[in-house]
Structure 1
């Protein structure tokens, strides 16, 4: 099961574009748009946190549905459906004027990410089983590309169009979403399913139930899920509020935007590197290393909320962030069959989405209650450290033996 070389390039390129739209633009760039958007619409930090939570809630509520749809109908239809949701969300946010509209549209972005991102990971990982870490790293370089672009575009449009600049950002995101949809429509195809003898009726239902139970109760997969949940909780807080923290500490908005953009550039460069490191070093070791770097990056501005401190944060996190995503997602598909891969990715992503559901609301409330950011990111640093310890524990857990055709096969 292999793609022709030219098709492989187009498939991966389309996947990178889908990741850029559904993760970087639909989820993580919100923190860059938030300051002008919050000022224009008169939102509080608590309301801003609730908007991030709405997206996470949409993601969490449908991520298992998306995995089931991808398992039954193939990942392609799920990815296209997710992109449609994201495009509609972008268009709506460009004209929304009241808080409840923002909540609905941000939830729609979560729906779109759920349907597009996790099925994409399992689809690509199945096409390239021997280079799973590398191709997932390439896909996640789309996150860096999106964040780099947003870090430049948001300040530019905000300065060019004043109070309405943030609306034009959403319009631009919608245009990029349409391009991603066309790329996915043309170049993303479902891999062939392995030929297996599938029992009928009650026996088939019992077999599927047993397979789900084996995935859901596996200590290795559950530990990956816990770590990925910590990544979701802490990274979304950073994505939404670190830019505001930098502005609150007196960093010039243009410089802060450049730092966020440079973090995205580092994500582009380091994505494939982390994929290769994960393939060679092992998922647990690479995940522990990335989490340790994320801990250092987050604690620095807590101890030193200066331009140098924020610069160090964005640089170190830019190097490490794709390592966290790539290693966790690759680990989730490592010892399951190709047919089970969408379910395994969706399962660990439930933890990730739950973390993203909790993080923005808790952080928004804490920032508003304490009238500052340092306590929030101090707690975030401590949670990341727990994730690093759990990641190292993965190296001590035996990998489960896959049933039937492994996803490695």
Structure 2
């Protein structure tokens, strides 16, 4: 199977799909929360639980994936197309919600489908790229999420301003249509790749028992456990920040246009983060590289505690620049380096399940903090999770260095 450079049509369309998978389906909810509350009702704590419902769907989806991939390894392209098509349709469906329970069901379905789409799109796209450039390719794909945040922020005057009560509905419908178009585009460019994959699978079917060693690889403290644990706490931290940041800004009386520009600023900074982070992990494939971005992100979150809007904005920009896209793309790239080729999709699915569990745990804790201590402390609580994630990534880097030294001693 011929491989391509990081910049190719498959990674481009994958990036456009991540605009939908991450920016629109997952993180637009935090931006639309004030508008949704005005129409549907409920407290921010109650509506925050819908974020948890979304990630329960995400977790269920990731747990369903490994047996599906094992059973139908050559059909990932068609399964991905169906999944992404349905994701666009469910975004349109969620725009019709009139009650919290109804919206919760749509959020669950969106979480379930986005879990499938995340793993399928990454495994299909990265498999088509040369190994030395997979970090850069991962960065290009994940920066689609930043572009989605940037675009979502531009909807702010329509979705936050009280004079546009139904604005969030129109925005979600437009996003759903874009998602359907991106799904069709990715299916077209990856169709040839799917045929090549089917041929390769037919040519080498016998050894299908690589999955169990990979499980042991993930949960082994001497291997990948600290990396996976870091991914869990990052999931908990970043989702709390993105769920409650806009409600916090609105509660401080920030005009909807400015709140949207702050949100878009995170996305704009993340565009650079995706490319720089991908290049960095290709050059320094270490847990230390990941830990540095998470540490700076922790400092960025702490900006909200200063009771100064300038520090809050600068902190948001820092998160967008170094620690919003970086952890997922670096974790994706590091896994690709340490996991056997044939087991990568199943392994990524398990890692994504851990990430989803973090995104369930985070809003539960954040919702309690918001109800008891207010939105400011709710947003700031994400710094605790980010700091733990940074420490665990550093431990993974330390473990990597010890193993490298041992190998040098043995070979030396």
Q: What TM-score results when the alignment is normalised by the length of structure 1?
A: 0.90
Structure 1 residue 74: deviation in Å? 4.2
What does residue 338 of structure 1 align with?
341
For residues 280 and 217 of structure 1, what CA distance do their matches in structure 2 show?
26
What does residue 395 of structure 1 align with?
397
Instruction: Check if 1:266 corresponds to 2:269.
Output: yes
What does residue 105 of structure 1 align with?
106
Residue 70 of structure 1 contacts residue 76 of structure 1 at CA under 8 Å; is this kept in 2?
no
CA deviations 1:360-394 (Å, max 9, x no partner) are 23212321222x12333343212211111111111
Residue 66 of structure 1 contacts residue 119 of structure 1 at CA under 8 Å; is this kept in 2?
no
What does residue 163 of structure 1 align with?
165
Deviates more, 1:79-88 or 1:304-313: 79-88
For residues 306 and 376 of structure 1, what CA distance do their matches in structure 2 show?
16
What does residue 94 of structure 1 align with?
95
- Change over 3 Å in CA distance of 1:331–1:3 after alignment to 2: closer
Match of 1:281 among 281, 284, 287: 284
- Change over 3 Å in CA distance of 1:68–1:187 after alignment to 2: farther
Deviates more, 1:78-87 or 1:314-323: 78-87
Instruction: Check if 1:233 corresponds to 2:236.
Output: yes
- Change over 3 Å in CA distance of 1:139–1:67 after alignment to 2: farther
What does residue 376 of structure 1 align with?
378
Residue 283 of structure 1 contacts residue 330 of structure 1 at CA under 8 Å; is this kept in 2?
no
For residues 147 and 67 of structure 1, what CA distance do their matches in structure 2 show?
29
For residues 287 and 381 of structure 1, what CA distance do their matches in structure 2 show?
16
| Unpaired runs of at least 5, structure 2 | 405-412
For residues 67 and 280 of structure 2, what CA distance do their matches in structure 1 show?
31
Structure 1 residue 45: deviation in Å? 1.4
Structure 1 residue 146: deviation in Å? 0.4
Match of 1:351 among 324, 343, 354: 354
SS at match of 2:339: coil
SS at match of 2:177: helix
RMSD: 2.3
What does residue 37 of structure 2 align with?
38
SS at match of 1:27: coil
What does residue 78 of structure 2 align with?
77
Structure 1 residue 288: deviation in Å? 0.6
What does residue 50 of structure 2 align with?
51
What does residue 174 of structure 1 align with?
176
Deviates more, 1:59-68 or 1:240-249: 59-68
SS at match of 2:238: helix
- Change over 3 Å in CA distance of 1:209–1:168 after alignment to 2: closer
For residues 215 and 123 of structure 1, what CA distance do their matches in structure 2 show?
22
Instruction: Check if 1:317 corresponds to 2:319.
Output: yes
Structure 1 residue 262: deviation in Å? 1.3
What does residue 2 of structure 1 align with?
2
What does residue 60 of structure 2 align with?
61
Residue 224 of structure 1 contacts residue 348 of structure 1 at CA under 8 Å; is this kept in 2?
no
SS at match of 2:341: coil
Structure 1 residue 158: deviation in Å? 5.0
- Change over 3 Å in CA distance of 1:309–1:274 after alignment to 2: same
CA deviations 1:26-57 (Å, max 9, x no partner) are 00111001111111111211221111011100
What does residue 409 of structure 2 align with?
none
What does residue 361 of structure 1 align with?
364
SS at match of 1:396: helix
For residues 125 and 67 of structure 2, what CA distance do their matches in structure 1 show?
17
- Change over 3 Å in CA distance of 1:92–1:198 after alignment to 2: closer
Deviates more, 1:135-144 or 1:161-170: 161-170
CA deviations 1:69-123 (Å, max 9, x no partner) are 3442443233223213312221211111111111100001101111101222222
SS at match of 1:341: helix
Residue 218 of structure 2 contacts residue 228 of structure 2 at CA under 8 Å; is this kept in 1?
no
CA deviations 1:173-212 (Å, max 9, x no partner) are 111111111112211233634787554xxxx67x345334
| Unpaired runs of at least 5, structure 1 | 402-409
Residue 294 of structure 1 contacts residue 316 of structure 1 at CA under 8 Å; is this kept in 2?
yes
SS at match of 2:97: coil
Structure 1 residue 245: deviation in Å? 1.2
Matches within 5 A, 1:165-204: 165-188=167-190, 189-190=193-194, 192=197, 193=200, 198-199=205-206
For residues 44 and 157 of structure 1, what CA distance do their matches in structure 2 show?
18
SS at match of 2:253: coil
